Structure 1
Amino acid sequence: MGKGGGCVPSKKKALSGVDDPPRQRADGSGNTPIVADENVRDGDADSSATSIQETASHSHPVLKLKIFIVFYSMYGHVEGLAKRMKKGVDGVDGVEGVLYRVPETLPIQVLQQMRAPPKDEAIPEITAAELPAADGLLFGFPTRYGSMAAQMKAFFDSTWQLWNMQKLSGKPAGFFVSTGTQGGGQETTAWTAITQLAHHGMLFVPIGYTFGPGMFKMDTIRGGTPYGAGVFAGDGTREPSETELALAEHQGKYMAVIVKRLARSS
């Protein structure tokens, strides 16, 4: 696989997180067994058990499952979905959403000519080497002629070392998108991106029609498909509607439930 632009880790440098010890998950999996002291007297059993639990809690804090919400947003539409999606993830006990931006590939002068607003510096950029630390992934991007924007494609191209080592295989992932028009690629942008997951051996998690009646309403224009949440940007001035944001929040919650379920079964 050829090297993509941007964040490509050296072949000689080990990927961060590749050989890290397993973290203790919210469901209790990954715990180190605690061996009871055979010399503890019956009368001290309760206090000893409490002491052991407190010690284990302090030395091995329970960590939440992490869902990385990785996106590219030029005019803020995808970013708006991402932030609302994090709210949905965080609403599920034991799971936390973490926002990341992919690196920009356009020069600042070009972005200024395109009147793109400044990036939210509070949201850090991510490198490919950080992806294995996630328990689940949600990728968001605008469309370019019915498929993902070049900035997101460049980021996926930079994951070649992870692909070579199959470090993302088995991880659940989903998509959310932004298009300018109703026929601009709400579905094609998502399903053409599935090839990226397939080559990594990842598990594509669509939302289907789990949003219920909201997926069938036709009284107002609405982005989003069974593949994932979406927003119509129009000429760039249209803001995401509450229905589109609610669908994004639902997708975050839905993915969090799936990730918890997979963690329990592992």
Structure 2
Amino acid sequence: MGKGGGCVPSKKKDANRGVASAPIPADDERLLTEPNAAAETTTSAPISKLRIFIVFYSMYGHVEGLARRMKKGVDGVEGVEGILYRVSETLPSEALEQMKAPPKDDGIPEITAEELPSADGLLFGFPTRYGCMAAQMKAFFDSTGQLWKEQKLAGKPAGLFVSTGTQGGGQETTAWTAISQLAHHGMLFVPIGYTFGAGMFKMDSIRGGSPYGAGVFAGDGTRQPSETELALAEHQGKYMAAVVKRLNVA
């Protein structure tokens, strides 16, 4: 009862009157005849995916083969996509011709250091040079000085994969020596451990890869990645994607 003795109309009734008398926008009229129209409206906007950059250097295509299969693994995880990038070549074309290196795939763009912070996760692949990463990849890391100074990559998960010419040529040491690059940037190194299960214990064939990441034996350059090596690369992509999703849970 109000002070004047009259009844005060309920807010609910007023609200209902307002809704009843308000015109329905033309764009919303189909909501009256199409029950699923509202759901379609709310789900039509594209949902952004987490992005893992697969950044590699490959002279004869072995590391690129792992990278492509790794992308398949990343893309197989809902809400995550893998994007392939290559680093710039530092050798002149004359030297590459003498080394009989095949031409690069123009469909894979070169990456610059400034693009790295936009990734949610990073996978770096490269061949070995005496137990360390190839000079082309080292030159790329050397170009990230400003990112290091500002710690723009700190906290980002990162993994490694490699190629070596022989069984004792650096499948593990190449990864070990590369971890220092990640550490100085404050990145989180994500090894695969023995999560590949039985595939990590098989001894019936020659296989690259280690608990540090996928790998391939290139031999004199003519040997191509085996299905086991490619499967390990795909597993690393899936594993990395799962870790990135877990770290990005709101």
Q: TM-score with structure 1 length normalisation?
A: 0.79
Partner deviation per Cα, 1:25-46 (whole Å, 9 max, x = no partner): xxxxxxxxxxxxx99969x9xx
Question: In structure 1, the residue corresponding to 2:122 is in which secondary structure?
Answer: strand
Whether 2:213 is the aligned partner of 1:228: answer yes
Partner deviation per Cα, 1:89-127 (whole Å, 9 max, x = no partner): 000000000000000000011100100000010000000
CA distance in 2, matches of 1:51, 1:238: 56
User: What is aligned with 2:87?
Assistant: 102
- Aligned with residue 96 of structure 2, among 105, 111, 115: 111
Partner deviation per Cα, 1:43-82 (whole Å, 9 max, x = no partner): x9xx69x888766655x63100000000000000000000
User: What is aligned with 1:154?
Assistant: 139
User: What is aligned with 1:89?
Assistant: 74
Whether 2:122 is the aligned partner of 1:137: answer yes
Question: In structure 2, the residue corresponding to 1:236 is in which secondary structure?
Answer: coil
Whether 2:104 is the aligned partner of 1:123: answer no
Partner deviation per Cα, 1:5-43 (whole Å, 9 max, x = no partner): xxxxxxxxxxxxxxxxxxxxxxxxxxxxxxxxx99969x
Letter in 2 for 1:93: E
Partner deviation per Cα, 1:218-254 (whole Å, 9 max, x = no partner): 1100000000000000000000000000000000000
The aligned length equals 224
User: What is aligned with 1:26?
Assistant: none
User: RCO (CA 8 Å, sep 6+): is it higher in 1 or 2?
Assistant: 1
Which residues of structure 1 form unaligned runs of 5+? 1-37
CA distance in 1, matches of 2:188, 2:19: 50
Alignment of 1:1-266 (within 5 A): 57=43, 61-264=46-249, 266=250
CA distance in 1, matches of 2:19, 2:153: 48
Letter in 2 for 1:107: P
Q: Identical aligned pairs, as a percentage?
A: 79
Question: In structure 2, the residue corresponding to 1:217 is in which secondary structure?
Answer: coil
User: What is aligned with 2:11?
Assistant: none
User: What is aligned with 2:6?
Assistant: none
CA distance in 1, matches of 2:67, 2:92: 24
CA distance in 1, matches of 2:178, 2:62: 19
CA deviation after TM superposition for structure 1 residue 255, in Å: 0.1
Letter in 2 for 1:253: K
Letter in 2 for 1:116: A
Change (3 A) 1:133 1:56: farther
User: What is aligned with 1:34?
Assistant: none
CA distance in 2, matches of 1:168, 1:64: 19
Which residues of structure 2 form unaligned runs of 5+? 1-14, 25-30
Question: In structure 2, the residue corresponding to 1:177 is in which secondary structure?
Answer: strand
CA distance in 2, matches of 1:258, 1:54: 31
| Structural RMSD (CA) | 2.2
Structure 1 or 2: more helix by fraction: 2
Q: TM-score with structure 2 length normalisation?
A: 0.84
